[in-house]
Structure 1
Amino acid sequence: MRVSALPATLVLVAAALAGGAAPAAADIPAGPVLTLDLEAGTAARHHNTARVTYERVDGAVNSVRIISVEIVSGENDCAWVAWNDPHNVNGWSNLTSEPSCNGTGLFESHNEIIKAPAGHPLKVRLAADHLGDVVHKDIEKL
C-alpha cells in the first residue's frame, strides 16, 4: 500500500504559513512616544528641569525605550536624571553621560531600553547637587 506524501507536505506548508502569519515581537510597533517633565528645586538659582522622552516596548514586560533626555540645571547646581535600576547596587543608574551644571543645558539622544522584573515599577528622578549636597529630587513613574 502506498501512502501519498501530499498530506504530509500540506501539513508542513500550513504550519509554516501559520507561524509566519503572526509578526515577531520585534516587528510589532512600539507604543506612542511619551514625555515626562521633571522639576526640582526652588525658583531662580536652584530651579532644575528635565524632560525624558520614551516609549513602551510592546511585547516586553516592564520595559521602555529611552529616546532622549534633556536637562537644564539651576545656576548653582549640577543636575542629572537617573532610573531606578534593580540591577545596580546603589538602586539608581544615570541616563545621562554627565550632569548639567551651572545653568547650562544638556541634551542626549538615546536608543536605550531599560527594563526591570515584573512588579518593579520603572521610575526616573531628577536630582541636583547643590554645594555638595544631593537635593531637590523629583521622582516620577514611567
Structure 2
Amino acid sequence: MRLSVLPVTLAVVVVTIVGGAAPAAAGTLVSTVNLDAGAGRHHSSATVTYERVDGAENSVRIISLQAFSGEPDCVWVEWNDPKDVGDGWTALNSEPPCHGGSIEETINQVIKAPKGHQLKIRLAAYHDGGLDVIHKDIAKL
C-alpha cells in the first residue's frame, strides 16, 4: 500500500498550526465577577467579564457587563479609579438600569492603576434621585 505525500504533509501542517496556537490561547484567561447587593425589592446584581492585560502591571480589560436593578433603585457598576477626583469611583456602564430594568454592554475598556493600588469594582445602588449609595458590593480584580 502506497501513502500519498499530500495527506501526510497536510496532517503535519495542521498539527503545527494547532500546536502553535495552543500556547497563545492558554495565555488569555477570561474571568467573571458576580456582584450582588440588597434584598427583596432592592435586590440588584451585576456580572463583569474581564481579562488581564499581558505585560501590564495592575491592568485589566473590561470586556462586558450585565447589570440588573431593584425596583426602586438605579445601579452603576464602577471601578476605583485613582484619577477620579470625586468619590474615587468611575462608572463602567454608560447609563444605569433603573426600576427593575437591566443593561448589557460590551465595554472593551482597559482600566489600570499604579503599583500598590488594588483594582476593585463595585455595584452601587442608589434610590432614584438619591446621591448616597444605598446598597453595594465590592470585589477585587
Provide TM-score, normalisation by structure 2. 0.77
Q: Distance in 2 between matches of 1:137 and 1:72?
A: 13
Matches within 5 A, 1:102-121: 102-121=99-118
Q: Distance in 2 between matches of 1:61 and 1:32?
A: 15
Matches within 5 A, 1:23-62: 31-42=28-39, 44-62=40-58
Partner of 1:101: 98
1:65 to 61, 86, 100: 61
Partner of 2:137: 138
1:85 to 72, 81, 85: 81
Partner of 2:70: 74
Count matched residues: 114
1:134 shift after superposition: 1.9
Q: Distance in 1 between matches of 2:133 and 2:104?
A: 21
Partner of 1:12: none
Provide TM-score, normalisation by structure 1. 0.76
> Any gaps of 5 or more consecutive residues in structure 1?
1-27
Question: Counterpart of 2:31 in 1: which secondary structure?
Answer: strand
Q: In percent, how many aligned pairs have the same letter?
A: 61
RMSD: 1.3
Q: Distance in 1 between matches of 2:79 and 2:133?
A: 16
1:137 shift after superposition: 1.1
